Structure 1
Amino acid sequence: MSQKWRVAKRAAQGVAVGAGLLATAAGVIVAQAKQARRIIPQADSPPPRGDGVYGARLPGKPITMVVLGDSSAAGYGTFRPRETPGALLANGVSRRLRRPVRLHRFAVVGAESSGLVPQVEAALEVKPDIAVILVGGNDVTHRTSTSTAVRHLVNAVRDLRAAGAEVVVGTCPDLGTIRPIKPPLRWLTRYWSRQLAAAQTVAVVEARGWTVSLGDLLGPRFTAEPTRMFSWDRFHPSAEGYAVAAAALLPTVLAALGSVDERREVLAVGEGVRSLPHAAHEAARRAGTEVSGAEVAGRERGPAGRWAQLRRRTAWFGHPHPDEAEQVVDAAVPLEETASRTEG
C-alpha cells in the first residue's frame, strides 16, 4: 500500500469518525429538544391582570403604559396582580414621577414576536405614552429565524413610535439559565438567546427605541435560590424573579419618559458611546445594560454605523427616591372605575 493511499485512508477514517460524532451530537440535541418541550409546561390558566390606575390620587394627567409580549411580560407564574411586571413598573413610575399611571396589559402567554401585531393594534387604541415589550424566549424555543423575529419586533416598535409612544424593549433572556434544559442543548440555547438579543438591540435602537438586556440577569440568583426565584413550573420566574427584572427595566422606562435624574450626564466606568453593533454585543453579554441612540458631534452615524449610548443602570424599585419625601401610592384602581368617575 502506497504512502499516499495510507494517508488518504486515515483521512477518510477521520472524516467518518467526525461525521459519526456530529450525527450523535445532533441526535442528542434533537432528543433533548423533544424532552424540553415535554418538561416546559403549557399554561393552564392566564396570569393575573394588573390593569388599572396606579397612584390614582396623585395630581397630573395619567401616564398611559402598555405592556406587550409573551409570558414574561404577562407575568405567568405570579398569583397576585401586584406581582406582575406591568404592575411593578406602573407602581414604580408612579412613585418616582408622582404621577398617576394607567396600565394596560396586552401581552399573551406563549406569544412569539409575530404575535405582536394584534397586540400593537390593541395598544394603539389606548394612545400609550410608553410601551414596554418583553419578547423573544418563544422564538428561541420554536427556532424562529432571528431575521423573522426581529422583523416583527422592529415593525411593532416603529408603529408605536409613529404614534408618539416611547418604547422600551427587554431583550431576549438567556434560556441557558433554565435548569431543566441540560447540556449540550443548554449551551445552544444560550448562544441562540444572545444572538437574538444582540439583533433585537440593533433593530430597536435603529427604530428609535430603548433596550435593556435581561440576559442571565436572574441566572446567579436562580442558581443560588432556585426554589425562591423560579415559579412552580421551574421555567418561569417567581414573583421575586419578576421583581428583579422589573427593577432592571424601571430606570430605563423613567429615562424614556424624560426623568431628569435618569438622563444623567456623568458616565460610570464601562459606559459611554459605542457603535451600535459594538454596544449590542456588549449588552447581550452583560445583563442590565441599557442601549439607546446617541449623537457624536451632532451626527447620529459614524464609520461603523449608528452611534449608541451604553449605560449600566442601577436597579431601583419599590422605595421613594432618597431626595424625595415619603409618598404613599394607592393600589391600582380598576380601569372601569376610573372610567365611571370620568363620565360622572
Structure 2
Amino acid sequence: MLKSITIGILLLNSVVLYSQQLDVNFLRQKEQQLSVRIEALQIEKTKFIHQSDSLAVSIQQLKSNQSLNLFQRRRLEKLLKSSQELNQNINQVNQKMKQFNRELQSLLRELVSWYDKQIAEIISSAKGNKLTQTELQQLSAWNAERSQYLKKIRQNQFQLQLSKPIEIEESDSYQIVKQKADFLQDQADKARKQIKLVHKRVNELQKELKLRNRMNELIADTYLMDQPIEKFLPQSQLKGANYNAELSKTDKARAQSSSSFDVVDNMLLKTDVSGISNIDLESYIRNLQQMKIKLTQSADSLGTVADQFYQAAEKKRQDENKN
C-alpha cells in the first residue's frame, strides 16, 4: 500500500513538472515570435524612413523654385501626398512596435518570474543549507537562463533634453505661451512616470541582490561541506597543484572581482546587471536612488514653471480680448 502511494506521488510530481515545462516552453516560443515580429517591423520602418528622406529632398528642391510650371506643381502635390502617406505608415508601424514591445516586456518579466519561482523552490527545499549536486546544477542552469531574459528587459530611458531654456517672448501670443506651458507640463508628467519606473527598477534590483546573496551562501556552504579535508590544508601540502581547476565555474565566477563602472544618468535604466558583481550592483542601486531624487526635483521644478506659464497664458488671453 505504501509503495503504491509513493509511486502515485512520484507520478503526480512528474505530471506537475511536465506541465510546468510545457508552460515555460510556450512562453519561450511566444517570446521568440514577438522578437521576430518586432525585428520585421523595424526593417519595414527603416525602409519607410529612407523613402521619406528621399521624398523630402525632392520636395525641398521643388519648393525652392519660385516659379513652378503646371507639371512641377502637380509633381509637388503628388510628392506631398506620398510623403503624408509614408508618415502615416511610419506612425502605424510605431504603434504596432509599441504594442509588441509592451507584450514582449510583459512576457519577459513573466519568464523571469517563472525562473524566480523555480529557484526559490530549490532554495526553500534545501535542508541544513546543503544542496545536492543535481540541485546545484539545476540552480546554475536556471540562473543562467534567467540572466539571458534579464538582458532583454529594457526600460524606457529618461530623456529631458532642451537645447535652451524655454522662455516667454514678448511677441508670443496666448496660443504660443499655452503650447509652451503644455510642453513643460508634459515633460513634468514624463518625469513623474520615470520616477515610478526607477522606483520599480530599484525594487527589482534589491530582490535580485537578495537572491544572489542567498544563492552564494548556499553554494559556498555546500561546496565547503562536500570537499575533503585536504582542500583546507596549506597549499604546499596539497597532493596536486591544480586547486583552482577543482573549483566549480560558479565559485570561479564569484572569486573574480568586477571592474568598476561609470554610470551615465540617462542610461541607468538600460544597464544589464547580470554580469556585474554584488558590490557594483549595490552601487548601481544607490545611483538609481540618486537619479530618483533628481527626477523628483526636475518634475517639481517643471510643474512649477508650467503653472507660471499657464498663468501668463491666461493673462495674454485677457489682454488680447481687451484689444
Using structure 2 for the length normalisation, give the TM-score: 0.24
Q: Which has the higher strand share?
A: 1
TM-score of the pair, normalised by structure 1: 0.23
Higher relative contact order (CA 8 A, sep 6+): 2
